[in-house]
Structure 1
Amino acid sequence: MRMAEMVSSGLEDLSLHINTKISNVKRTLQLRNAGEEPSFKSTLGEIKHEILLVNDLLNKMEMEVKHHKELKDLLKELQKSAESHEMEARHLSENIPFCLLKPTQSCAAGLTVKREEQPEVVEPKPAKKPPKESRLIKEASLITAEEFESLPAYMKGRLTCDQINAVVKGINKAVADKYKILHQPLKSMKAAARKLYYRFLEDETADSKGTFFVVEADIGEFTQLKVDKRFHAIVTVLRHCHRVREIRGVGRVRYVIS
């Protein structure tokens, strides 16, 4: 009796499995045929369009996440630097030399020395403040006639040496104006300069640290240069001549003075 029940149960399971497979095949055929019907074609097209939009949004979201990660890393570095400066300032304030401390009024009152017995104290002249060191801002040198003549024909194209050097001068100006702002005390800046200052910090990456570079927004801010096809062709020449190099990141190309 048990053997018969086991056989019957096994046949039922097998029958159910086969029927499920047949249903799946029928559903697949129905869906394939549905794509051929005109009434469904527009719906499928809309679904495809929506999928492409979602994919595009996901790509943009991924770029934003990477950008915010870079900002987070930069803020961490700034925080570490600020904490280090704070510790140094605290150490200096807690270890002021005794000779620089002014005597309090109570101490001065306790020392009743006769006027004629008081030794003549010669006050030291205040030391002159050393002149502020001028921070050098790196700039690219102009292309020489010999370098221009040695360029490959495909790279030179219809460009002239003057056009190339005009871009070199523009990049140098943008670098100079940018780093003049970065070297100013933050408290002395106006609102417009402070806004640029924070954008400059956002443009920084671990690879660009310690270099002098500009992005296309800086070129548009400080020069009359047009960032077009000719500009990019000239940048190719400048890379070939080792005047600039590029650091590419999320949504930005950094033109670094070599």
Structure 2
Amino acid sequence: MNRGELEDLTKHINDKISLVKRLLELRAVAKDPDKRAYLHKIEHDINAINGLLDRFERYVSQQRDLLKHLQDLDTFFQEDEQNAQHLLENIPPHMPRKGAQLIVQGGQTTALSKQAEVNIVPQEQDQPRKPPRSQIKEMEFITVQEFDSIPQYMKGRVTYDQLNSAVKSINMAITGKYKIFQQPVKSLSNAARKFHQRFKEQETKDTKGQFFVVEEDLRELAQLKVDKRFVGMLNMLRHCQRLKELRGGGLTRYMLL
């Protein structure tokens, strides 16, 4: 046994001896009736203190559990806040914005270009409104899954948002075109009548009852530049079964499916 162990053993024995001495002293005191009353009072106070300590320990345990629960909630709230901030910073550009002039057709919301608004009957303000002859069909936006299914050679550097921006522009041209085309000719302005006549000349037996646009419609009603890049996006939309091409009479008609 080394010196440290011997000192610990000696201290332990001395503590036991001191405890025994204290018990003997208390036993002697307990024989005195006057002092015994004080001992009972001390016992009662000690028991009360022990009860308070037990209640305090339970309360501390409950507060510790509540704190852990609140910390977990705080973590969840922070994750939700981060997700909401991410959504706010990554709203697709084809989503409608507050304050824009919108037209709801076929379950889709489309903003009209200024050019399309100019071409649509100015006399409508002086005439009673009539219900539309038919709903104007619009192209549905491309989903993320559909975009991922497009071959990379076909996509090139075109992004998901850019492709849906093209969908939005095509819908803008279609809405402007057929809003004019479905109006009675007599109610149209001179400028709108020219558009109506041109739209009528574009029709064929294969396009009857269908919705389509040509390059001229896209340029004038949606201010689109129909260049090589845009033609590539039209091919992507064909791949996603959003439109098909009909050629004839020197025109390429992009017809909605």
TM-score, reference length from structure 1: 0.48
Larger Rg: 2
TM-score, reference length from structure 2: 0.48
